[in-house]
Each structure stands twice: as C-alpha cells, then as structure tokens.
C-alpha cells in the first residue's frame, strides 16, 4: 500500500492536469470541478500518507549508477503536507479569481503539473531523481508566470526560466563532480563525507556552487532577480504558490545536499559555511530594504519573499539543531503567511483594481475582512508574539548564538531584528492607513470583499498562521527531533 501511494501522489495531479487539457469540449464548471477535485483528493491522500511507515520504490535505471527512486522520510512529509494544504486553499481562491478568464483551463493544468513535479521532488530518494523533478518543476511552472500573454509577462517568464535553468546547470556541474568523489548520491541523514576526505577543497567549491545554483529558485543573492520581476505580472494564485511553495524547492535541494549527501560535519567551520551564511544575511537585509522602498503591492511582497526565504536558508547554513529547526519552522509559517498575503493582494486587485500601496488608503472600509486577515498575516511575518513568525525567529536567533561562528553568532540576530523592523515598516502602514484613513475620507457605498471563495481561504490561512504560533509546541518538538537527526 505504501508503494502504491508513492506512485499515486505525483501521478494523480499529473493525470488530472492532462485530463483538463484534453477535455476541450467540457464546460467551465466541469474543468473547475476536475481542478478542485484533484487538489482535494491530493490533500486527502497526503494526509493519509503522513501517518504511514517509510517506504521506497525503484522506478527505473538510466545507467547502472543513475537510478530514479522514490522514498519517504520526515523531510518529505513536512514538504508534502505544506504543499498539499497550500495548493488546495490557493485552488479554492483560483476558482473565483479565474472565473471569467478564457485561459483558466491552461492555468489549472499547469498548476497541477507543477504540483506533480514538486511532489516528485519531495519523494526523491537520491540527488539524481531530485534534480530531474527540480528541472521539471521549473519548466511546467513557467506558464503560470506567462499566463496573461502580455509582453511584460513574456519578459518575466523568460527571466524566471533563464535564472532557474542557469542555477540548475551550475548545480548539475557540481553533481557531476560529487558523483566522482562521494560514496553515493543517495540521501542519508548526516551525509556521507568526513572531514578528512582527500578531495576536501574540490568538494567545498562544488558544494558552494551547487548552493548558489539551487539558491536561484529560493531567491538567494545574486540569483534573486526573477522574483520581483515575475510576481507583479503573474496572476495572484501563481504568485502565491511561487512565493509560498515553489521557492521552497530551492530550500529542499540545499537541505538535501548539505545534510543528506555531504554532511554538516564536513562543512561546519569551513569557508563555505561562512560564505553561504554571509550571502543569506545579505539577502535578508537587502530584500527587506527593497520591499520597504517599493510601492507596487505585489512587487513589495516579492521582495519580502526574497528576504524571508533567506531566513530559512540562514537556519540551514548555521548548521545547529536550533537553527535548522527554526528554518524548517519558518518554512511552514512563511508558506502559510505569504500565500495569505498574495491572495489578499489578488483579492484587492480583482475587486478594486488597485495595484499600488499608495492607493490603499481606506481599504479597510471597503474590504474589512481581507484587510484584517492581511494584518494578522503581517504580524506573523514581522514576528510579533504570539504569532508563528516569533517562534521560528526565536529558534533562528538561538541557533545563531550557539553556532560558535565568530561575528556571525551576534551579527545574525542583529540583522534579523533590523529585518523585522523593516518588515513592520512595509506592512503595517497598509493596515493603519487602511483602517484609519482620516475623518475626511468618504465612506464606501458597499463592501467589495468578493465571494466566500476568495475571503474564506484567506481567512483560513491567516487564522492558521496565528494558531501555529500559539500552539507551536507539537510542531516545534517534531522539527527539533528531525533537525537533531541530521545535524
């Protein structure tokens, strides 16, 4: 039964995506039903599989050493759960958002194809399998950015494609070399290398390059430029999954490389750790500063993603139990919060045709539910207790302080605090001016929240982001145990 699920989880969204594309004579309701039905069944299968024992499955061998295999562990369960929930809630929002869009069937199919590729990546048992699905996820998600077919969308899609492929090719070069100098490319907790490896210098260089390459998907400097270009042109549901989920594909690849192929013991205290940690801190600060200066709402949120995903990478690069657990917590919380924020932006753009932060004065009067949920999610992203973001940032700060890295151990918490202040500076004014526009601001004639298909998933995400912080103990305990087994 476990092996059957290993096939079903990536195959089901792929099959439904093909079916939606093929049933050209079917009505809009049929296609929408197939789309949301696929996401619902996927969520149920994922929920069931989270409690099943680990399993593995050999699919085929391209060569005697290049095998495609699937398997499960704690990391795959974490990513599967976050992705299934995120796609389902985004899918509900999409039904209304895409109601009158003539190309919605194509969008539905590409969303499901992307889900299929991501699930395959999570279930990969070795570096080769993961790389194949990593590349597939890029190719099938490009149409999500290209959806509107405008010149601006074409440029954004090409930029996303070029950055992602360039990063993947850098990583592939590193994989070639690692295949020659490591016992195996299979994933094993703790990695397979020891500090006395005779090819240490070469391996350090290629690991650094691979992290830069995979980091392109996660928005790590210097390959972060596609995010603020792609988000403003992509439909809001695409922006939500790009930011909340697809960007995490880069995080997963780096996590698997550092802790399941190479090993933290091999890299701890090396120049690679210092360089990667420095890049993550630079990205955290730079992304926050750029978001603070940006007036276009979705572009502001995109720069925020550049910063916030590097919080997760920082936790991985510090290589302590607390930091890795904090990074994985932030992965969960950021996915929930950022999907919520992008869906809020999509609801505002869809209902009021407002795209700039400077235009949102009084938004709380015409869209009170959406603005309230935006506020709750914003507090989580800032890290104000008892929100979920406070919990993850707490563990990231603890992890940096016990890392023992000179300068980094105190610089990291300082930059996290500065970034939190900047996050408050680019999110909270939207709330303040939205609910308190001034006495002379005219009252709206009616509420423009849209239907429940829009405000309900937004509300669920905002409330869950808050509850994950208040009742964080079970998730925290599980992730600390998971981190302890690989660090």
pLDDT tens, residue by residue, 120-156: 999 999 999 999 999 999 999 999 888 878 888 888 8
CA dihedral 364, 368, 374, 378 (to 10 degrees): 60
Segment 371-423, tens digit of pLDDT: 999 999 999 999 998 889 999 999 999 999 988 888 888 899 999 999 999 99
Instruction: State the DSSP string of 95-111.
Output: HHHTTT-TTHHHHHHHH
Q: Alpha-carbon distance 248 to 252, whole Å?
A: 6
Q: Is 356 helix (H, G, I), strand (E, B) or coil?
A: strand
Average pLDDT, the chain: 89
Q: Alpha-carbon distance 487 to 485, whole Å?
A: 6
Element (H, E) at 199: none
Identify the pLDDT of residue 404. 83
174: nearest Cα among 247, 260, 262: 262
Q: Which residues contact 63 (CB under 8 A, 6 or more apart)?
A: none
Q: Which two tokens stand for residue 241?
A: 């999954």
Identify the pLDDT of residue 447. 62
* Pairing of β 56-61 and β 67-71: antiparallel
Identify the pLDDT of residue 444. 63
Contact between 208 and 272 (Cβ < 8 Å)? yes
Contact between 191 and 199 (Cβ < 8 Å)? no
Residue 216's Cβ-side half-sphere holds a number of Cα atoms within 13 Å equal to 22
Cβ–Cβ contacts within 10 Å for residue 420, how many? Answer: 18
Average pLDDT over residues 188-204: 80
Q: Is the pLDDT of residue 3 over 80?
A: no
Identify the pLDDT of residue 138. 92
Q: Which residues contact 208 (CB under 8 A, 6 or more apart)?
A: 272, 275, 276
Of the listed ranges 28-32, 46-50, 296-300, the least confidently predicted one is 28-32
Identify the pLDDT of residue 254. 95
Of the listed ranges 95-99, 100-104, 219-223, 479-483, the least confidently predicted one is 100-104
Structure pTM?
0.93
- Length of the chain counted residue by residue: 487
Q: Alpha-carbon distance 26 to 441, whole Å?
A: 47
Banded model confidence at residue 343, pLDDT cuts 50, 70, 90 = very high
Contact between 396 and 327 (Cβ < 8 Å)? yes
Contact between 62 and 68 (Cβ < 8 Å)? yes
Percent over 90 (pLDDT), the chain: 56
Q: Alpha-carbon distance 87 to 384, whole Å?
A: 27
Q: Give the bridge partners for 356, in sequence order.
A: 296
Q: Alpha-carbon distance 241 to 132, whole Å?
A: 20
Q: Which residues contact 98 (CB under 8 A, 6 or more apart)?
A: 104, 107, 108, 235, 237
Q: Is 145 helix (H, G, I), strand (E, B) or coil?
A: helix
Q: Alpha-carbon distance 98 to 95, whole Å?
A: 6
Element (H, E) at 127: helix 127-146
Q: Alpha-carbon distance 59 to 389, whole Å?
A: 39
Segment 233-290, tens digit of pLDDT: 888 899 999 999 999 999 999 999 999 999 888 888 889 999 999 999 999 999 999 9
Q: Is 149 helix (H, G, I), strand (E, B) or coil?
A: coil
Element (H, E) at 69: strand 67-71
């Amino acid at each position: 039964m476990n092996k059957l699920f290993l096939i079903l989880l990536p195959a089901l969204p792929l099959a439904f995506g093909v079916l939606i594309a093929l049933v050209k004579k079917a009505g809009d309701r049929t296609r929408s039903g197939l789309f949301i039905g696929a996401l619902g069944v996927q969520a149920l299968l994922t929920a069931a599989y989270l409690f099943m024992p680990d399993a593995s499955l050999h699919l085929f061998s391209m060569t005697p050493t290049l095998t495609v295999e699937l398997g499960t562990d704690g990391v795959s369960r974490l990513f599967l759960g976050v992705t299934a929930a995120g796609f389902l809630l985004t899918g509900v929002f999409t039904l209304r958002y895409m109601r009158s869009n003539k190309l919605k069937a194509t969008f539905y199919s590409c969303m499901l194809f992307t889900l299929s590729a991501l699930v395959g990546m999570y279930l990969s048992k070795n570096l080769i399998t993961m790389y194949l699905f990593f590349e597939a996820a890029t190719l099938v998600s490009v149409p999500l950015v290209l959806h509107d077919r405008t010149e601006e969308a074409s440029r954004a899609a090409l930029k996303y494609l070029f950055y992602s492929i360039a990063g993947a090719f850098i990583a592939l070069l590193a994989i070639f070399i690692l295949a020659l100098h490591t016992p195996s490319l299979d994933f094993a907790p703790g990695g397979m290398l020891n500090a006395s490896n005779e090819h240490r210098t070469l391996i350090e260089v290629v690991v650094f390059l691979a992290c830069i390459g995979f980091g392109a998907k996660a928005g790590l400097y210097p390959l972060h430029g596609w995010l603020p270009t792609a988000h403003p042109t992509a439909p809001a549901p695409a922006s939500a999954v790009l930011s909340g989920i697809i960007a995490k594909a880069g995080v997963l690849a780096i996590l698997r490389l550092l802790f399941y192929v190479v090993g933290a013991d091999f890299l701890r205290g090396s120049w690679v750790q210092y360089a990667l940690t420095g890049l993550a801190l630079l990205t955290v600060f730079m992304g926050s500063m750029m978001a603070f200066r940006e007036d276009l709402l979705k572009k502001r949120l995109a720069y925020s993603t550049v910063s916030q995903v590097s919080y997760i990478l920082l936790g991985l690069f510090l290589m302590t139990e607390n930091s890795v657990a904090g990074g994985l917590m932030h992965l969960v919380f950021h996915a929930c919060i950022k999907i919520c924020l992008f869906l809020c932006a999509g609801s505002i753009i869809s209902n009021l045709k407002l795209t700039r932060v400077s235009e949102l004065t009084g938004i709380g009067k015409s869209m009170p539910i959406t603005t309230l949920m935006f506020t709750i999610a914003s507090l989580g992203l800032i890290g104000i207790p008892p929100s979920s973001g406070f919990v993850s940032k707490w563990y990231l700060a603890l992890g940096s302080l016990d890392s023992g890295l000179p300068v980094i151990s105190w610089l990291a918490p300082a930059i996290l605090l500065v970034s939190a202040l900047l996050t408050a500076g680019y999110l909270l004014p939207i709330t303040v001016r939205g609910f308190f526009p001034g006495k002379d601001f005219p009252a709206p004639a009616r509420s423009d929240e849209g239907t429940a298909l829009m405000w309900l998933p937004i509300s669920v995400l905002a409330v869950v982001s808050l509850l994950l912080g208040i009742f964080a103990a079970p998730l925290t305990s599980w992730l600390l145990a998971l981190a302890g087994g690989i660090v």
